[in-house]
């Protein structure tokens, strides 16, 4: 009878040990799952911001290309550097209007004359458009787009 009691005690002790080990394994797996969930949600938000920045850059390049060459004025020069025009956008990439002075994204547009051989608007002329899309604090650039535009007639 004594042997029977000892056998039951060791069986229940083994079961308790198995439960503790299984609980530890489950806790480790759950911790890893929670950490990867947090990382994946941050990655999705970052990707969304980059995609919106890309969309804003393309939209602004196309808007500037739609302006006829003679009316596309070069950016002013201060201290030997072109001063960009800043346009503000909300978190969804919508333009906030001409009077906006802050937002979630800023598009910094610079237009420079690359070739102007005779000082007149004609088919020899070439301008460069550069659009950079930054966050509001100008600490992260999401996109930089460049294109050239020619006179191509009036």
- Whole-prediction pTM: 0.70
Give the residue-averaged pLDDT of 14-22: 82
Tens digits of residue pLDDT in 82-120: 999 999 999 999 999 988 889 999 999 999 988 877 777
Q: What is the largest CA-CA distance in the chain?
A: 114
Nearest to 149 by CA among 49, 65, 46, 51: 65
Residue 154 binned pLDDT confidence (cut-offs 50, 70, 90): very low
Q: How far is CA 71 from the centre of its chain?
A: 31
Nearest to 56 by CA among 95, 28, 6, 8: 95
Q: Looking up tokens 């060459």, which residue turns up?
A: 69
Is residue 6 within 8 Å of residue 14, measured between CB atoms? no
Give the residue-averaged pLDDT of 6-22: 69
Per-domain residue ranges of the chain: 2-150
């Amino acid at each position: 009878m004594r042997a029977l009691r000892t056998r039951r005690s060791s069986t229940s002790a083994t079961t308790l040990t198995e439960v503790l080990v299984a609980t530890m394994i489950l806790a480790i797996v759950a911790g890893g799952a929670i950490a990867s969930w947090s990382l994946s949600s941050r990655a999705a938000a970052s990707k969304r911001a980059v995609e919106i920045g890309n969309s804003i850059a393309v939209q602004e390049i196309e808007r500037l290309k739609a302006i006829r060459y003679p009316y596309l004025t070069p950016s002013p020069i201060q201290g030997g550097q072109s001063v960009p025009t800043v346009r503000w956008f909300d978190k969804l990439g919508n333009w906030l209007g001409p009077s906006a002075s802050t937002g979630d994204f800023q598009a910094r547009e610079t237009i420079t004359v690359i070739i102007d051989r005779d000082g007149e608007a004609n088919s020899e002329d070439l301008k460069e458009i550069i659009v950079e899309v930054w966050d509001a604090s100008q600490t992260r650039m999401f996109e930089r787009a460049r294109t050239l535009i020619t006179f191509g007639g009036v």
